[in-house]
């Protein structure tokens, strides 16, 4: 893995340069900007402690490849939430070969797991549903934009599709050889089983998922990279969870389907 020079730049300074590999948003107007190619500097190390060194190798490739896409979050800063939801829809599409209904299960799992951290489990679900209904018009607008970029094969859709399809190919050997590790809750020392027991969705789906399936692991790693990218763009865990909720609820509506949560 490469060594990186890290500079802390303002929004205006970031907009004026193209000599970087990727960036991480830190505060409202500050960014950690990573530039590779140095003999000395900061080593790329974000996932390897939990997932092995190969995980960082592929995350590094992904973040570097996503440089042009990341610029959309800069030039459209006043439309941050719009572009974030749009990106989550594009990710869902590309990850699942266009099958949003199938892909939606990943976002349901993410959201329902988040809900279990609240003492009033049903209360947080009701709150999210209320906020979803309040934002329904906006979600519909973004979904229409997603259809446009897909049907017209606009560059951002092509770019993300090509990057993810390539990543799926190159990570497969290391997934098959168990060189990329996935944290198992029972081995983590965390009482996650009790939390997930509160989730009707996880109780139902848990017994039907083969967590050692290669395709499942590939998609799981891709999703980790995508969430990491969105975090770098400045999307908080809480906001991402709400966006995922809105997306899967909208999918339920357009397909007249229920994920039975």
Model pTM above 0.95: no
Contacts of 34 (CB under 8 A, 6+ apart): 4, 5, 6, 20, 21, 22, 23, 24, 42, 44
What pLDDT does residue 119 have?
79
174: helix, strand or coil: helix
What pLDDT does residue 68 have?
97
Which residues in the chain show pLDDT less than 50?
186-189, 191
Cα end-to-end distance, the chain, whole Å? 42
Question: Do the beta carbons of residue 247 and residue 92 sit within 8 Å?
Answer: yes
Q: What is the mean pLDDT of the chain?
A: 90
What pLDDT does residue 214 have?
94
């Amino acid at each position: 893995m490469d060594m990186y020079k890290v500079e802390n730049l303002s929004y205006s300074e970031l907009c004026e340069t193209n000599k970087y590999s990727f960036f991480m948003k830190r505060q409202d107007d500050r960014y950690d900007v990573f530039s590779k190619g140095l003999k000395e500097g900061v080593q790329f190390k974000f996932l390897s402690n939990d997932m092995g060194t190969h995980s960082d190798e592929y995350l590094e490739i992904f973040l570097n490849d996503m440089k042009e896409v990341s610029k959309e979050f800069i030039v459209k800063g006043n439309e941050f939430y719009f572009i974030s939801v749009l990106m989550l829809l594009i990710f869902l599409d590309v990850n699942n070969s266009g099958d949003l209904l199938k892909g939606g299960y990943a976002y349901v799992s993410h959201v329902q797991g988040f809900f279990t951290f609240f003492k009033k489990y049903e209360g947080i679900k009701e709150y999210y549903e209320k906020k979803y209904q309040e934002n329904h018009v906006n979600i519909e607008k973004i979904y229409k934009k997603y259809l446009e970029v897909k049907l017209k094969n606009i560059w951002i859709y092509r770019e993300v599709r090509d990057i993810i399809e390539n990543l799926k190919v190159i990570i497969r050997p290391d997934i098959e050889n168990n060189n990329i590790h996935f944290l198992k809750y029972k081995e983590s020392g965390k009482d996650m089983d009790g939390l997930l027991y509160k989730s009707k969705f996880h109780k139902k789906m848990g017994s039907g998922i083969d967590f050692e399936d290669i395709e499942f692991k590939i998609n799981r790693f891709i999703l980790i990279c995508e969430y990491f990218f969105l975090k770098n763009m400045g999307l908080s865990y809480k906001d991402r969870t709400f966006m995922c909720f809105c997306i899967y609820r909208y999918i339920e509506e357009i397909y007249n389907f229920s994920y039975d949560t």
